[in-house]
Amino acid sequence: MNKPSGCGIFGLVIAAIVVVGFIVQNPALLIAVAAITVLTVVIVRDNNKRKQEAFVDAMEACAQILEGLGSGKEPETSGGIALKKSEKLIYVLPMVALTEYESSGSSFSGMNAGVSFPLFGDVRGNVGGMGGQFTKNPELLTQVDYGQAIFTNQRIIFSGAKMVRDWDLDKTISLEPGANGLNVKIAVSNRERTSGLQALNVLAFGPGYPAGFVFTLFDDGEAEAKKWAKGVAKQLRDAVASERAKVAPKAIEPK
């Protein structure tokens, strides 16, 4: 890295002196700059506080829904799907994204395969062409459609504008809910690729929660599923209480 020359440092010093002198001669400008700075800090803090409050409220709402699942509350909508014999509807999410692994295209890498020879001066010519190859880029988990997700005691169904997916729980190899239940990855034995569901809003009740519930219900039974839902709800309630305690005004102890 090149060090600044003496002339460059001298120029910066002169510029700083000019700016300071201008501010001293115009105190109103200094007051305006200070006011704008304070206002910016207040706005940023207020926005951060609002975002945190919204996130805490969302966690509380998720806990309430999970408590409903844990108590056996019936879903508010049927989802408009015909159920199989002995199949029971557990929960319906009206708007989620279907995620699948897709290729992001290909990349070309190569080198000049020709022979270079001088023409005149520093100019050179080439005989031959470019040699190289196209390499397929790694597949990325991508949102490929949007629609509703339906969770039953036997399967998870996605019904979207373009696609329909049906994950049978008896064929599920792995089910991985993401952080805060916002997404879930599902691998089943009758499909080569892992796919899943994702919430469209970070404050929404994500598909990871009902997916975890129906998977536990299918694998371990109703009692364990209800216990799982109530346990996750308690964790969310505890997190909400902890966050609200940080901002609650402290009580003044009597002297």
What is the per-residue pLDDT across 165-192, written as a single tens digit (0 to 9) for each?
A: 999 999 999 999 988 899 999 999 988 8
Backbone angles phi, psi at 80, to 5 degrees: 65, 35
Q: Which fold is adopted by the domain 59-102+141-247?
A: PH-domain like (2.30.29)
pLDDT digits (tens, 9 = 90+) for 4-49: 555 667 677 777 776 666 666 767 766 776 777 777 777 777 777 7
Is 231 in contact with 70 (CB distance < 8 Å)? no
Percentage of residues of the chain with pLDDT beyond 90: 43
Please tell me the predicted confidence (pLDDT) of residue 107.
57
Average pLDDT score over residue span 227-251: 86
In 121-194, the DSSP E strands lie at: 123-127, 130-136, 139-152, 155-160, 164-168, 172-177, 183-188
Is 133 or 50 the better-scoring residue by pLDDT? 50
pLDDT digits (tens, 9 = 90+) for 75-126: 877 777 888 888 999 999 999 999 998 766 655 555 555 555 555 556 555 5
Give the chain's mean pLDDT.
Answer: 81
Residue 134, CA distances (Å) to 79, 130, 140, 172, 246 in order: 45, 12, 18, 35, 55
Please tell me the predicted confidence (pLDDT) of residue 216.
95
pLDDT grade for 60, boundaries at 50, 70 and 90: very high
Please tell me the predicted confidence (pLDDT) of residue 130.
52
pLDDT grade for 50, boundaries at 50, 70 and 90: confident
Average pLDDT score over residue span 144-149: 95
Distance, CA of 151 to CA of 211 (rounded, Å): 7
Distance, CA of 196 to CA of 212 (rounded, Å): 13
Is 54 in contact with 203 (CB distance < 8 Å)? yes
Report the candidate in 159, 36, 152 with the shortest Cα–Cα distance to residue 85. 152
Helix (H, G, I), strand (E, B) or coil at 88: coil
Kind of pairing between the strands at 183-188 and 195-199? antiparallel
Return the sign of the alpha-carbon dihedral for residues 237, 242, 243, 244.
positive
Within a 10 A sphere around the Cβ of 124, how many other Cβ atoms?
A: 10
